[in-house]
Homo-oligomer: A and B are copies of this chain.
Amino acid sequence: MVTLAEVAQHAGVSASTVSYVLSGKRSISADTRQRVERSIAELGYHPNAGARALASSRSNIIALMIPLRTDMYMPVMMQIAIAVATTARAHGYDVLLLTGEEGPEAVRRVTGSGLAEAMIMMDVELHDERLPLLRSTDQPSVLIGLPADTSGLTCVDLDFTATGALCVEHLATFGHRDIAVVGEAPAVYERHTGFAERTLDGVRSRSRELGVRVLHRPCEGGYDAMSVTLARIFDERPVTTGFVVQNESAVEPLLALLRQQGRAVPEDVSVVAICPDELATQASLRLTSVAIPAQEMGRRAVELLVAKLKGCGTDEVVLLPPELTVRASSGPARAGES
C-alpha cells in the first residue's frame, strides 16, 4: 500500500505538501504540483479513507436510509437511491445504504461513529420516531418526505397536497362530480405516511371547494385486491365517473377491470394516476398523470445536504410543484351522467 509519505519522498517534498496538493487548501508552485502529481500517478497512490476521516473528522460519506418495506413502490425508491448516489459522487461523497430495519438505532450508530457526516432519510412518517434524534444531532440531514412537524428539518418532497388538488381540479374541469380515490395499501395509511395522507387532504379540500364528492379506498396492489376495491366503489357510488389512483400496482389492474366491465376509458370513466411517467406512458392506455419526480427528489436532497455540509444551508422545505400531463385516460364526463 502506497502512503502519502512515500509519495512525498518520491517527489522530494514534505508530506504536508502532498496533502495540500491533494486538497488544494494552499497554493503550490506549478513545478512542485507537477512533481507530486507525477509521483502520485507513478506510484498509484490512493489516500487512505480511514486516516483521512480520522485526521479531518470528515468521512465524505452520507448515509441514505431506505425503507425495508415492500409496500412502497420499488422503482421509485430505486430511482431515488440511484439519483442520490450519482449526485453525491458528483459532490465528492459516497453513499452508505441503511435499511429502516435498525430503526432509530442506525441513526445513532452512524452519527456517533462518524461513519457518515450527514444523512438522507426516505419514507418518513408523519410522526417519525427517528425525528427526535435527527433534531438533537448536529449532523446535517435531509428528509425525502414530509413529517407533520418540519420545524428544524430540511425536507424535499413532491407537493402531494397540491397533487391531490390538481387531480380533482382536472377531473372537475371535465365535469366529473363523483370521484373515487384508489389509494395505497392500508398499511401505508396506518403508519401515517405523509405523502398518502397529504394527497388525500388535497383531494378532499379541493373537492369540497368544487362540490365534488369523493370516495377514498385504500387498496393493496394486484388484480384481486383491485377487483374487490372496485366492486365496493361502484357498489357504494354507482355514479362514480372519475378515478384518482395513487398506487402503482393498482394502475394496470384498474384499467383491465374497467375494460372488463365494459366501462370505456375515457368515454365512461376517467382515470388520473399519480405515478412515475414511465408507468403512465407504458400502461395499456396512455395515462393522464401527475409524475413522481424520483430523480429530482434524490438530486435535490443531496444538493440541500451538501449545502448544509458547507455551512451555507438552511432548514428549508422544498415542495416540488406537481405537473399533470393530460394523456388518453381522461375526458369529459357524459352529459348528465353524474
- On A, residues with C-beta under 8 Å from B are 1, 44, 46-54, 57, 59, 61, 64, 66, 68, 70, 74-75, 77-79, 81-82, 85-86, 89, 94-99, 101-102, 108-110, 112-115, 221-224, 249, 252-253, 256, 278, 281-284
Shortest distance in angstroms between A241's beta carbon and chain B's nearest beta carbon? 23
Q: Which single member of B82, B97, B256 contacts A284 (CB below 8 Å)?
A: B256
Given contacts A97-B97, A252-B284, 13 further A-B contacts (CB under 8 A): A46-B112, A48-B113, A48-B114, A50-B53, A50-B54, A74-B75, A78-B78, A86-B99, A86-B101, A222-B281, A223-B283, A223-B284, A249-B282
Shortest distance in angstroms between A276's beta carbon and chain B's nearest beta carbon? 10
Q: Are B79 and A74 in contact, with the CB atoms below 8 A?
A: yes
Chain A to chain B contacts (Cβ below 8 Å), 12 pairs: A50-B50, A50-B59, A51-B54, A54-B54, A74-B79, A85-B99, A86-B101, A89-B99, A94-B98, A222-B282, A223-B282, A253-B282
Total copies of this chain within the assembly: 2
Minimum CB distance partner of A223 in chain B:
B284
Shortest distance in angstroms between A240's beta carbon and chain B's nearest beta carbon? 22
Q: How far is the CA of A222 from the CA of B278 in the complex (A)?
A: 9
Instruction: For the complex of A and B, list the 6 residue pairs with the smallest distance between their C-beta atoms, beginning with the closest.
Output: A46-B112, A50-B53, A222-B282, A50-B54, A74-B75, A49-B115
Contacts of A252 in B (CB 8 A): 252, 284
Contacts of A223 in B (CB 8 A): 282-284
Minimum CB distance partner of A73 in chain B:
B75
User: Given A68-B86, A78-B77, A253-B284, A46–B96 Cβ distance below 8 Å?
Assistant: no
Contacts of A47 in B (CB 8 A): 113
- Of the listed residues A96, A99, A221, A283, the one surrounded by the most CB atoms of chain B closer than 10 A to its CB is A99
